[in-house]
Amino acid sequence: MNPIPDSDDPFTVLAPPRPCRTGPLAGVGLAVKETIAVAGLPWHGGSKALEGRIARADAPAVADLRGAGVGVVGLTRCDTLGFGVTTPTLRHPSAPGRSVGGSSGGAAAAVLLGRAALGLGTDTGGSCRIPAACCGLFGLKPSRGLVPLAGMMPMAPGLDHAGFIAARLPLIRRALAVFDAKGAAPHPRLAVDREALAAAEPSVRDALDAALARLVAAGHRLCPVRLPGEPLWRAAHGVIVCRAALEVWGRTRRDGLPPRLLAALDRGAALKPRDAALALKAQTACTAAVDGLFERADLLLLPTLAVPPPPQRANVVPVGGHRRDVVAALTLYTGLFNLTGHPALAVPVAHPGTPLPASLQIVAPLGADLALVDAVRGLLPLLDPDGPDPDEDGGPFHAKAGGA
């Protein structure tokens, strides 16, 4: 099989123009991950196995956002069918040779390039937060079920979420408000897992330590907490993904499926009923453990990524002195919250001496999505003192070409 050539264009297809709409998101250009249905556009997720399939209707989330005034700019590149974390065929707009992250990497690149103001992606292990972190953007995985998943290609229904990517936090809030109307506490109690922070690479750790120090200097107390260990949640996450892969893709011709999906299918076929039962038990335990942390705090702070953006086509990444598979490395801090369903926001934080910021992940209780965004908005001057005004959303962005 010939490798797919690299591209500088985050879009696979542009949407035909439509009349301008009114609403709270009027004039905002939306970049949609190509695994999400947009009426009249291809809907194959980059897979030859589904080549020629056209979406008959918008995914409900797309329809809801259109109803709020957005214009769909087009469909954006991703790892095939969403199985991956690097979008390997897409060049990074501002860090040549580095990965844009994935699998919603095209949506992040479109925002970074200014070709859309808002990206809509999916997130099963970090696929909105990882590209946001790699591109110095905000990326939100909302609470499980808040944004409807119908019309989006499933990876693992028990872990799948739909989420947003933007350069300005107020725009994420406006998009989130289409689906959620609850507000926030102005003075959040903050918790930090110091052990998780210690496992990050030094450049990431230094940037986040400095941001946390600014919070403390401003009077915030950081409550120490411990998250569920990676072996527990990682095993459960893997079993759920592989079982779902078998259910969703097991009857699809294999020659059009990506290698990571094929491996998941093979592992799924070898699983026993006991494996699934243990995974669900672990998922319940992890969810209860994270819920318990919020009895002492309103927000949980930890890295989004343990490492800076890896090389564009990396398969292995060094983390903490060990070489790890790139998926395991980039989902080290994100995958747990797909298992538990808690809302998690990737926030860019100043990172001296590098072209891109580090990224702090901030997590809130289930259902507290707008509370999360509102609280982070108040913390932004401390987290990134040289960043943009937290009260400005940058105004509407229209497509440089296309628009719908």
SS3 percent helix, strand, coil of the chain, rounded to 5, is 35, 15, 50
What's the CA gap between 200 and 141, in Å, rounded?
21
Looking at 103, 104, 143, 359, which residue is catalytic? 103
Helix axes 169-176, 369-383, angle to 10 degrees: 180
Give the C-alpha distances (Å, rounded to integers) separating 64 from 59, 70, 164, 261. 9, 9, 14, 30
Looking at 99, 104, 127, 143, which residue is catalytic? 127
Give the C-alpha distances (Å, rounded to integers) separating 335 from 131, 144, 339, 343, 361. 14, 13, 7, 12, 12
| Two structure tokens written together for 356 | 């891109």
Instruction: Respond yes or no: is residue 203 known to be catalytic.
Output: no
- DSSP secondary structure letter of residue 16: P
What's the CA gap between 166 and 175, in Å, rounded?
10
Q: How far, in whole angstroms, is CA 389 from its chain's centroid? A: 23
Report, as residue numbers or ranges, the catalytic residues: 33, 103, 127
